[in-house]
Amino acid sequence: MLFNSIHFAIFLPIVFTLYWFVTNKNLNLQNILLLISSYFFYACWDWRFLFLLVFSTSLDYFTGIKIYDATTKRNKLFWLWLSICINLGFLGVFKYYNFFAESFTQGLHLLGINANLGSIKVILPVGISFYTFHGLSYVLDLYKNKIKPERNFVNYSVFVSFFPLLVAGPIERATHLLPQIVKKREFNYYTAVDGLRQILWGLFKKMVIADNCAIYANMIFNNQADYSGSTLVLGALFFTFQIYCDFSGYSDIAIGTARLLGIELLRNFAFPYFSRDIAEFWRRWHISLSSWFRDYLYIPLGGSRGGTWMKVRNTFIIFIVSGFWHGANWTFIVWGALNALYFLPLLLTDRNRIHLQTVAQGRLIPNLKELLAMIVTFSLTVLAWIFFRSQNLEHAINYISGIFSSNLFSMPYFLGIKESAITVGFIIFLLIVEWIGREQQYAIKIASHWDKPLQWLFYYLIAMIIFLFGSPSQEFIYFQF
């Protein structure tokens, strides 16, 4: 079920009504309703993979209790590694088996050995990377004695499968979400209105910008040999805004939907394209995943505490694993490694935490240094996104080579370029609104401080743009991860 579909527009009001007007006096009934709703939401994709979700949930629920009740470190480690190995085993089979099999076969061919491990035809279960990481964070936090096990299976299952975040995050922590699930929730009108406002902005980013950018990005990337360098730059820019508005739009809708139900999810985006260096970018992009890898991989490996070699090693590990998490393709690995190269100079010169505050905080206009830093960081990000979007490494290299050709400074042209001007106009509108609202949790929250008539005029304008220019029922990019 898509957030941007008529089905969800029917589903959410029904859940909301039952949640606050039928089950609101009984927390257990509320959580049962959330669990049934979440499983129905997931089953709308493919009911067969619902069994995998239930198995993964049961595994971590059971091993979590065993970890906590174990009397020796050896037993704790046994149950921890049982959970990790089975969870990553399922992820490996469904998501990575064919990649490893094909890469190994190609490696043997280079050595003159003819072999074929074969591939398996499997459908990637939607959301498997997200709910697997929910469960892993739970058992890891139990092992570290950060939390106590949740012995109510329904409560724990809601934590793993809460429908707003089930298929594309944010990646929640048990320390943050479980306490909200196990306590009574009271309806708050202002929180609910704020949630609706965030949903509206998420739909605008997804349906108006991301889905329209996708049309032109796909056209240019799929036929890159036919276009000039300037057109290829335009294609890369279209994808840059497509992936940002698609994923941050999903996160806005997910967070806003959860707020309607009295639950606060982790923030996932904080205006990353206004970053002044790559370190700041990664503190603002896909925050829940970046912080997950930091806490459960980077810091246990030693983080930045060791010598230069350890810093370099850990940086490359964290970025390459992050790239590989996104998909079984060398393009994602190179994308991760390229971001590691961007990040290393900042880390080695101890300048990776100099931009912790919002750019031009308290000012409308950035100074020249800030502006140049944002342009450089954005340009490096666009270059890296080319690898992320490309079908394979050869495609990415050819695309970049095509950019740096003799016709780089010619006028861009592709079929439909005149129509794309409308989308470009909406991108400019997005940048203006997000710049003005960059110190808020999400951009149009700034409108809540305006006079009521101006507020409603602004919201109706966005709603009308969605209605007139939105592309309905297009899947979100991160469903494939």
Among 60-64, 378-382, 409-413, which stretch is predicted with the lowest mean pLDDT?
409-413
Q: pLDDT-based confidence at 5, cuts 50/70/90?
A: confident
Among 120-134, 145-159, 440-454, 461-475, which stretch is predicted with the lowest mean pLDDT?
120-134
Sequence-ordered list of residues with C-beta below 8 angstroms from that of 467, at least 6 positions apart, any chain: none
Domain spans of the chain? 6-184, 190-276+355-480
What are the pLDDT digits (tens) for 287-333? 999 999 999 999 998 887 878 888 899 999 999 999 988 888 899 99
Handedness of CA 233, 234, 238, 244 (dihedral sign): positive
Checking if the pLDDT of 465 tops 80, the result is: yes
- Predicted local confidence at residue 101, as pLDDT: 67
Q: What is the 3-state secondary structure (H, E, C) of the chain?
A: CCCCCHHHHHHHHHHHHHHHHCCCCCHHHHHHHHHHHHHHHHHHHHHHHHHHHHHHHHHHHHHHHHHHHCCCHHHHHHHHHHHHHHHHHHHHHHHHHHHHHHHHHHHHHHCCCCCCCCCCCCCCCCCHHHHHHHHHHHHHHHHCCCCCCCCCHHHHHHHHHCCCCCCCCCCCCHHHHHHHHCCCCCCCHHHHHHHHHHHHHHHHHHHHHHHHHHHHHHHHHCCHHHCCHHHHHHHHHHHHHHHHHHHHHHHHHHHHHHHHCCCCCCCCCCCHHHCCCHHHHHHHCCHHHHHHHHHHHHCCCCCCCCCHHHHHHHHHHHHHHHHHHHCCCHHHHHHHHHHHHHHHHHHHCCCCCCCCCCCCCCCCCCCHHHHHHHHHHHHHHHHHHHHHHCCCHHHHHHHHHHHCCCCCCCCCCCCCHHHHHHHHHHHHHHHHHHHHCCCCCCHHHHHHHCCHHHHHHHHHHHHHHHHHHCCCCCCCHHHHC
Q: pLDDT-based confidence at 2, cuts 50/70/90?
A: confident
For residues 325 and 481, the answer to whether their CB atoms sit within 8 Å is: yes
Average pLDDT over residues 101-123: 65
- CA distances, 144 to each of 137, 139, 173, 212, 292 (Å): 10, 9, 14, 46, 15
- Predicted local confidence at residue 115, as pLDDT: 64
For residues 208 and 465, the answer to whether their CB atoms sit within 8 Å is: yes
Average pLDDT over residues 162-179: 92
For the chain, report the end-to-end CA distance as a whole number of angstroms.
16
Give the burial string for 231-256 (b: 16+ CB within 10 Å, else e).
bbbbbbbbbbbbbbbbbbbbbbbbbb
Map tokens 């590989």 to a residue. Answer: 324
- Predicted local confidence at residue 106, as pLDDT: 65
| Residue 184 burial class via C-beta count within 10 angstroms: exposed 0-12, middle 13-18, buried 19 and up | exposed
- Predicted local confidence at residue 178, as pLDDT: 95
Specify whether 326 is catalytic: yes
- CA distances, 89 to each of 84, 85, 97, 148, 240 (Å): 8, 6, 10, 26, 32
- Name the residue type at position 7: H
> Which residue is catalytic, options 7, 109, 286, 326?
326
- Helices 393-403 and 330-348, packing angle to 10 deg: 60
Among the listed residues 323, 301, 322, the one whose alpha carbon sits nearest the alpha carbon of residue 312: 301
Euclidean distance between CA atoms 164 and 257, whole angstroms: 6
- CA distances, 71 to each of 63, 82, 145 (Å): 14, 17, 13
Map tokens 């739970």 to a residue. Answer: 138
- Predicted local confidence at residue 237, as pLDDT: 97
Average pLDDT, the chain: 91
For 382, the token pair is 């666009």
Percentage, residues of the chain above pLDDT 90? 76
Among the listed residues 147, 125, 123, the one whose alpha carbon sits nearest the alpha carbon of residue 137: 147
* Residue of 479 and 204 predicted with greater confidence: 204
Checking if the pLDDT of 217 tops 80, the result is: yes
| Residue 208 burial class via C-beta count within 10 angstroms: exposed 0-12, middle 13-18, buried 19 and up | buried
- Predicted local confidence at residue 464, as pLDDT: 96
CA dihedral 416, 463, 192, 248 (to 10 degrees): 10
Checking if the pLDDT of 256 tops 80, the result is: yes
For residues 247 and 476, the answer to whether their CB atoms sit within 8 Å is: yes
- Predicted local confidence at residue 109, as pLDDT: 64
